[in-house]
């Protein structure tokens, strides 16, 4: 079974895999085809749970991502930076064993989303044209908002045409966001004695909501690493005993929550606990080993998919 899994992993990573839908052999191929293979690999490795299997899967997925980033000329790096950093931890066997299985499955879920985002970006690189079309649609809706009853039918026709233009410019990517609005427009245009003002108002709301969701889904910012000072719980730009006291007060005395949980997570195990304060104090006053290799250093989180976030990184000297 292990041999079969390793052979399948090699086939996925190398690109020598026949796609059932087309029956063609994809060796190298376009970046889109490589994204398809990566998605298949994600599905294949979704059942992996043992540490050695996770490590092997991580190597395969990391290699595939590196190939995609290289062949895309670096255009896809920002989509996979978060996942790639986490995969490296499993490759190096430095991720806490107790948190291995669940974070790996969470990472696969995130990777599926990143694959789709990269696809959208590569298939429709002219995002400025989509933004302009959405803005024109929004202007059309605003212009016809106060239409008199006799002007509602031509207003709906103008809005429908603007929606069609957005769909054409986006290559059909936006159709799902306006499907309900378009269906109601068609229904109201053929209703006798004509569209009601209530139905018209509902259509305008649906179109505006479609514009909002389209902008969020197609143009939301992708993950960017946040630099912070590991161990600086109170965000004063220094690592000292006051940070450990801050963690203890938060955990046991109702003190203020750290603005950057990742910074307060001194041992970088993905949660805030007594061990963060004890490890920091032991290191500072007893000369023991630092709670983590990144303790006292400024930089992005090495475990970006853990359960601790960072709303305000504070000063990072």
Are the C-beta atoms of 77 and 118 separated by less than 8 Å? no
Of 106, 123, 140, which closes a domain?
123
Are the C-beta atoms of 90 and 58 separated by less than 8 Å? yes
In a domain, 316, yes or no: no
**Domain CATH for 264:** 1.10.1330.10
Of 219, 240, 274, which closes a domain?
219
In a domain, 311, yes or no: no
Spans of the chain below 50 pLDDT: 1-29, 98-99, 125
What is the overall mean pLDDT for the chain?
80
Q: Please check whether residues 153 and 89 belong to one and the same domain.
A: no
What is the pLDDT, as a whole number, of residue 25? 28
Q: Please check whether residues 148 and 260 belong to one and the same domain.
A: no
CA distance 195 to 163: 19
Report phi then psi at 178, rounded to 5: -120, 10
In a domain, 307, yes or no: no
CA distance 269 to 306: 8
In a domain, 251, yes or no: yes
Q: Please check whether residues 93 and 189 belong to one and the same domain.
A: no
Q: Please check whether residues 21 and 75 belong to one and the same domain.
A: yes
Q: Please check whether residues 73 and 11 belong to one and the same domain.
A: yes
Q: Please check whether residues 105 and 40 belong to one and the same domain.
A: yes
Instruction: Look up the pTM and report it.
Output: 0.41
Of 178, 197, 219, which closes a domain?
219
CA distance 152 to 132: 24
Q: Please check whether residues 15 and 109 belong to one and the same domain.
A: yes
In a domain, 308, yes or no: no
What is the pLDDT, as a whole number, of residue 159? 95
What is the pLDDT, as a whole number, of residue 206? 93
CA distance 122 to 132: 18
Q: Which of 311, 308, 310, 305 is nearest to 85 (CA)?
A: 305
Q: Please check whether residues 161 and 54 belong to one and the same domain.
A: no
Structure tokens at 203: 């259509």
DSSP assignments along 187-252, one per residue: HHHTSSS---HHHHHHHHHHHHHHHHHHHHHHHPPPP-PPPEETT-TT-SS--SHHHHHHHHHHHH
Q: Please check whether residues 188 and 112 belong to one and the same domain.
A: no
In a domain, 253, yes or no: yes
In a domain, 138, yes or no: yes
In a domain, 85, yes or no: yes
pLDDT in tens, 259-290: 898 899 998 887 889 999 999 999 999 999 99
What is the pLDDT, as a whole number, of residue 302? 65
Q: Please check whether residues 12 and 118 belong to one and the same domain.
A: yes
Q: Which of 104, 106, 22 is nearest to 56 (CA)?
A: 104
Instruction: Using DSSP bridges, classify how beta strands 228-229 and 298-299 pair: parallel, antiparallel or unpaired.
Output: antiparallel
Q: Please check whether residues 189 and 243 belong to one and the same domain.
A: no
pLDDT in tens, 84-140: 988 887 788 655 554 456 678 888 888 988 888 888 777 654 677 888 899 999 999
| Domain span at 248 | 228-299
Q: Please check whether residues 248 and 174 belong to one and the same domain.
A: no
Q: How many domains does the chain have?
A: 3
């Amino acid at each position: 079974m292990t041999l079969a899994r390793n052979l399948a992993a090699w086939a996925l990573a190398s690109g020598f895999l026949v796609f059932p839908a087309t029956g063609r052999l994809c060796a190298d191929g376009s970046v889109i085809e490589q994204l398809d293979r990566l998605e298949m690999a994600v599905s294949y490795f979704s059942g992996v749970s043992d540490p050695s299997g996770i490590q092997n899967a991580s190597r395969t997925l990391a290699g595939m991502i590196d190939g995609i980033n290289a062949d895309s000329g670096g255009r896809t790096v920002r989509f996979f930076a978060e996942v790639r950093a986490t995969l490296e931890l499993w490759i190096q066997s430095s991720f806490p064993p107790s948190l291995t299985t669940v974070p790996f499955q969470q990472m696969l879920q995130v990777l599926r989303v990143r694959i789709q985002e990269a696809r959208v970006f590569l298939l429709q690189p002219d995002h400025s044209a989509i933004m302009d079309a959405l803005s024109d649609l929004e202007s059309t809706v605003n212009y016809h908002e106060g239409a008199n009853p006799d002007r509602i039918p031509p207003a709906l026709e103008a809005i429908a045409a603007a929606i069609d233009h957005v769909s054409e410019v986006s290559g059909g990517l936006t159709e799902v966001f306006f499907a309900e609005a378009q269906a109601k427009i068609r229904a109201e245009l053929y209703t006798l004695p004509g569209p009601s003002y209530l139905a018209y108002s509902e259509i305008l709301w649906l179109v505006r909501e479609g514009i909002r969701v389209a902008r969020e889904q197609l143009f939301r910012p992708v993950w960017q690493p946040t630099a912070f000072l590991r161990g600086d719980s109170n965000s004063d730009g220094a690592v000292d005993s006051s940070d450990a006291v801050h963690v203890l007060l938060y955990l046991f005395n109702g003190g203020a929550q750290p603005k950057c949980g990742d910074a307060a997570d001194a041992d970088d195990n993905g949660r805030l606990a007594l061990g963060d304060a004890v490890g920091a104090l032991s290191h500072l006053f007893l000369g023991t080993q630092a709670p983590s290799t990144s303790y006292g250093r400024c930089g992005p989180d090495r475990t970006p998919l853990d359960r601790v976030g960072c709303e305000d990184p504070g000063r990072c000297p």
